[in-house]
Amino acid sequence: MRIVKTMERKQEVSVTQPQRHTRLRTAAESLSLRNVDQSICELMNEAIARLVLLAYEQDAGGYCNIDAATGKLLIPLPWGRNGYARWGLRPQEANILRQILFDWQYPGPSLLLYDRARRAWFVNLYDYSDVDTAKGWLGKHPVSILVYRAARTKRLAGG
């Protein structure tokens, strides 16, 4: 009798199709996607930090990469159409980073400001007059996975 039950179970096992999305698989995919998102966040944080250092770079004539009077950034930006590739970002990553920076505009004061009328990005030299205060702002505004995913969702939704 036992052998008959075992053979019936064998038949059931051979016909059974395991579900494609089990909890374990979902957890593993979530973990790997989290790692991908985290590496993108680190890349974005590095790009913003490097841009800020370049923005405050000075020589004998003053600021090298921004207009001293207005704070307008004069170099290709990691989130710009002409700059993302130079910074090692993909187009979609640049769009998401731009969305993050737009979201950080309010409540202010933000370090990096966008003027829609002039279609240009500016460093807020009024509130962040030196690189140390700018680094302080950066420390308080990292691109986290939560921030990244919210901006990605917003961009994909067309917002």
Instruction: State how many domains the chain has.
Output: 1
136-145 average pLDDT score: 95
Residues 1/103, Cβ–Cβ less than 8 Å: no
Residue 52 maps to a domain: yes
Residue 131 maps to a domain: yes
For the chain, the three-class secondary structure string (H helix, E strand, C coil) is CHHHHHHHHHHHHHHCCCCCCCHHHHHHHHHHHHHHHHHHHHHHHHHHHHHHHHHCCEECCEECCECCCCCEECCCCCCCCCCCCCCCCCHHHHHHHHHHHHHCCCCCCCCEEEECCCCEEEECCCCCCCHHHHHHHHHHCCCCHHHHHHHHHHHHCCC
Residue 7 maps to a domain: no
Residue 128 maps to a domain: yes
Residue 118 maps to a domain: yes
Q: What residue type is assigned to position 111 of the chain?
A: L
Q: What residue type is assigned to position 75 of the chain?
A: I
**What are 6-43's pLDDT values in tens digits?**
556 555 555 555 566 667 666 666 667 888 899 999 99
The whole-number pLDDT of residue 11 equals 58
Nearest alpha-carbon partner for 125 in 80, 32, 58, 61: 58
Residue 84 maps to a domain: yes
**What are 49-106's pLDDT values in tens digits?**
999 999 999 999 899 999 999 999 999 999 998 899 999 999 999 999 999 999 999 8
My answer on whether omega of the bond before 78 falls inside 30° of 0, hence cis, is no
Q: Which domain holds residue 118?
A: 36-156
The whole-number pLDDT of residue 13 equals 53
Residue 11 maps to a domain: no
Residue 2 maps to a domain: no
Q: What pTM was computed for the model?
A: 0.78
